[in-house]
Structure 1
């Protein structure tokens, strides 16, 4: 690699003051210690407690929806979201091939089939125009439902993912969902704090899923949440995620197969402290974006992915797009050897052994991005 690449890595290490810079680290201080200590002293550390209630209320307010249901991770949130909106075994669910595996796995947990669609160079998320053309080709409306003419299966839902925190074209996808009678579930795992036309991501879907894994913009250690404006769906989600136990002072009765998915109070205490810091984390993320723009000025053939039009991104993971002169793996090898932790985008879902036989659209944009995307260190440097 040339001297410009060496200078780029030195800028990053100097900014963070480290010889090894991780991809993304959580930021904690006395507030997390205070809340977690209080939780431990209370004795209520499992799936019931005041911090769970508080975290759900604070999160719903932040996202701009009526309800939030805290769960053990983002995959569980997606699983329950699919179930409460009525996805059934044997259905197909439209998901991007360019996503973290949780999106496809959650569909599989339902006994449904992921149907992979392509993404846009402008958003890195589901491409509205390409999806519309695909559905015009393979779709057929019958009795108020969309069917895949090639497989005979019902297509019941669309699950777009806001890649690296950047919002997809929500208006276009809502238009398609209305046209084809599909339920929209937002995979907002990475996009807490991102806005589309002034409205928070996660507030557009019938139900949406968020992740609070250790590398996300805020963390509960491990955790996730469903968010929705539908009280009935939120109540059902809370019921399912607490083993479908019928409320009673002492009896253990369960009215259907449920899941032990509720977030522990201990994790929620951490989340409450983290959520309070979002007004600091987002400006720091955006400041880092400006730094990267400056450091990349002299590096030819590389550009920093920027937020799409009409959006305001949380810039969860900073993203480089390489042109054809670079071999992605050679760049990754160089950066990591220099102490700048970097990673490729996920292996596209349609290339994984268990999903190779799933239905799919033309995925040429996904294929191109797979060879050209590199994520670089993205931890916000907040004074918190």
Structure 2
């Protein structure tokens, strides 16, 4: 237990004067209060307002995407992204078993079925090799796209995730998707401020999505965003997120089924203030990751560093213990000592609603799930 106590002591040194150190708390030290009060004074507190427009502009500036659409949360952004990628009922969508439930849920909203592909140990994100092997063994390429040979269903999209802000080999995944005529929807929910080979995450596919939930690097309570370089998709996204209402000064005409998915101006005001501090937040978090790396090297515990060719935001730092027994001992010791740690999410194919879904071997995913622990990763004031 000496090693565990060293981790507890180190974490408490980074976050002094706390009885309990959380995994990732929001920090409001910029213009948050000023902008929110300004939004209130403007009376534009719902889905129309200057801060919504500014938020979208800032997301384009940060990511390099041509267009951004403000969404009420990351899950809805992913649902919308799948719709824009032409995913339909009874289609199949390739994703990861090692992911947050929102990824699989958004696929299910459409009536499509997830298919779970293994991840790389280095990035915790979808493995291009596993993706290619699965398609070669299980899919056939037709004029109108790829189809699963066992089910006969169309494989409409692929949704890799940049787990904990660590970029996966997204360029290789994009190439494979193009070869197989599969639309790429990038789940960059956790990776705002992360780059792969000099490009921001979220810009490699048809669309990319982000989350601004309360525990993210940048938060506005809820909040999400969709980015794309396709003007027609961006316009359609805005149309669908506003109940598919045809623009008119007073008439209420809707030309298809739409959604109430626009981010409110109040949330956007908070988001703009947070985005102004993104570079500072990430620098602070990367410094913490470097300190963790040194500590765990001394303790002979594997700390998950950013992959080759990547610059990670280190949203949540993670370590890999020797087995599930040591993992559970570590979790118990830290949480009982006032330091929050948690295991990775339950693998999607082990949840009752997704047990019927097709998978590959998931060898790496299972190995990681038995060993991974997230440790406190918030901004240190």
Residue in 1 aligned with 2:358?
Answer: 359
Q: Name stretches of at least 5 consecutive residues in structure 1 with no aligned partner.
A: none
Change (3 A) 1:26 1:325: closer
1:190-214 per-residue CA deviation (whole Å, 9 max, x = no partner) reads 0000000011001111101100000
Q: Name stretches of at least 5 consecutive residues in structure 2 with no aligned partner.
A: none
Distance 2:281 2:314 in 1: 10
Q: Does structure 1 conserve the Cα–Cα contact (< 8 Å) formed by 2:60 and 2:67?
A: yes
1:22-80 per-residue CA deviation (whole Å, 9 max, x = no partner) reads 00011102510100010111111011100000001111111101111111110000000
Residue in 2 aligned with 1:122?
Answer: 122
Residue in 1 aligned with 2:314?
Answer: 315
Change (3 A) 1:160 1:258: same
Normalised by the length of structure 1, the TM-score is 0.97
Residue in 1 aligned with 2:263?
Answer: 263
- Answer yes or no: is 1:333 the counterpart of 2:332: yes
Distance 2:30 2:368 in 1: 41
1:211-267 per-residue CA deviation (whole Å, 9 max, x = no partner) reads 000000000110101001111101101110111111000111110110011100000
| CA-CA distance at 1:298 after TM superposition | 3.3
Distance 2:323 2:232 in 1: 50
Aligned residues: 380
Distance 2:120 2:29 in 1: 38
Normalised by the length of structure 2, the TM-score is 0.98
Higher mean Cα deviation, 325-334 or 195-204? 325-334
Residue in 2 aligned with 1:209?
Answer: 209
- Answer yes or no: is 1:73 the counterpart of 2:73: yes
Q: Counterpart of 2:31 in 1: which secondary structure? A: helix
Residue in 2 aligned with 1:27?
Answer: 27
- Answer yes or no: is 1:275 the counterpart of 2:287: no
Higher mean Cα deviation, 181-190 or 318-327? 318-327
Distance 1:124 1:30 in 2: 33
Distance 2:113 2:179 in 1: 21
Change (3 A) 1:325 1:203: closer
Alpha-carbon RMSD: 1.1
| CA-CA distance at 1:144 after TM superposition | 3.3
Q: Counterpart of 2:236 in 1: which secondary structure? A: helix
Distance 2:210 2:303 in 1: 25
Alignment of 1:1-384 (within 5 A): 2-17=1-16, 18-300=18-300, 302-324=301-323, 326-382=325-381
Distance 1:72 1:175 in 2: 31
| CA-CA distance at 1:141 after TM superposition | 1.0
| CA-CA distance at 1:19 after TM superposition | 2.9
Q: Does structure 1 conserve the Cα–Cα contact (< 8 Å) formed by 2:14 and 2:380?
A: no
Q: Counterpart of 1:152 in 2: which secondary structure? A: coil
1:346-384 per-residue CA deviation (whole Å, 9 max, x = no partner) reads 1010000000001111111111111000000000225xx
Distance 2:154 2:203 in 1: 26
Distance 1:359 1:4 in 2: 40
Q: Does structure 2 conserve the Cα–Cα contact (< 8 Å) formed by 1:148 and 1:154?
A: yes
Q: Does structure 2 conserve the Cα–Cα contact (< 8 Å) formed by 1:85 and 1:233?
A: no
Distance 1:26 1:360 in 2: 36
Q: Counterpart of 1:193 in 2: which secondary structure? A: coil
